[in-house]
Amino acid sequence: MNAQGLVLTVYLRRYCHLCHDLLAQLAPHGFQVIEVDIDLDPQLEARYGALIPVLTGADDEEICHYFLDEAALTAYLSKFR
């Protein structure tokens, strides 16, 4: 699965090992990933709290949280084929 040109966002906390794991799992796929630290924005912290990491796509559509859900990511990517 390669999505050249696709931009995904990961809402995370810098000290979160699950966040680091999710980023590492995304790396081989070749996505452009924007990392957003929720601790820098009180509204994002209130929105996501302990739900992180949260992987979102276009229009902030949630794909998965906590762990990379390959099936959910594949389903999301199928919208662009």
For the chain, list the domains and their CATH numbers: 7-80 (3.40.30.10)
Dig out the tokens for 52 from the structure: 């992180």
How high is the pLDDT of residue 4?
60
Partnered with residue 56 across adjacent β-strands are 9, 62
**This prediction's pTM:** 0.91
Q: Which residues contact 65 (CB under 8 A, 6 or more apart)?
A: 51, 52, 53, 54, 55
How high is the pLDDT of residue 80?
79
CA 10 to CA 38: how far, in whole Å?
A: 10
pLDDT, tens digit only, all 81 positions of the chain: 445 678 999 999 999 999 999 999 999 988 899 999 999 999 999 999 999 999 999 889 999 999 999 999 999 998 877
Closest CA to 63 of 75, 78, 51: 75
